[in-house]
């Protein structure tokens, strides 16, 4: 999995509680992404980062925040979890360059909000 570790791999949480998912990379890639994957919707971008402390919103960012204080770590926080945030979350990394623009994905985190 190209040196990407997501934690936790599975989590069940209650509605209204905050949740933080962690993505850790050992590749020193500049770009990091958080996606969610739901049946019928494919992968949807939540937030991404183009450097330490540099982040931007994706298409489904409402209810989520991110932080990147170190190159290797990208945290996704659900400030107050809702049942609609039950999903599989994937972290990805990439490095831009003429021949290396592809994304490498982590194993995913299955989050259930009850």
Partner 1 sequence: SQKIEQNSEALNIQEGKTATLTCNYTNYSPAHLQWYRQDPGRGPVFLLLIRENEKEKRKERLKVTFDTTLKQSLFHITASQPADSATYLCALPESGSASKIIFGSGTRLSIRP
User: CA nearest 24: which of 70, 87, 84, 61?
Assistant: 70
Is 59 a binding residue for partner 1 by CB under 8 A? The answer is yes
The binding track of 80-99 with respect to partner 1, each residue x by CB under 8 A or -, is: ----------x-x-x-x---
Is 64 a binding residue for partner 1 by CB under 8 A? The answer is no
Is 62 a binding residue for partner 1 by CB under 8 A? The answer is no
Contacts of residue 103, Cβ cutoff 8 Å, sequence gap at least 6: 33, 92, 93, 94
Is 106 a binding residue for partner 1 by CB under 8 A? The answer is yes
Q: Which two tokens stand for residue 20?
A: 């933080």
Q: Which two tokens stand for residue 13?
A: 């949480």
Cβ closest to partner 1, residue 14 vs residue 59: 59
């Amino acid at each position: 999995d190209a040196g990407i570790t997501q934690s936790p791999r599975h989590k069940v949480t209650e509605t209204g509680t905050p949740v933080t998912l962690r993505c850790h990379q050992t590749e020193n890639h500049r770009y990091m992404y958080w996606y969610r994957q739901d049946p019928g919707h494919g992968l949807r971008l939540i937030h991404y980062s183009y450097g330490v402390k540099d982040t931007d919103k994706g298409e489904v960012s409402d209810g989520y925040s991110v932080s990147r204080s170190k190159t290797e770590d990208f945290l996704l926080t659900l400030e107050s979890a809702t049942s609609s945030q039950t999903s599989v979350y994937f972290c990805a990394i990439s490095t831009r360059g003429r021949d290396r623009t592809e994304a490498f994905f982590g194993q995913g985190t299955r989050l259930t909000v009850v």
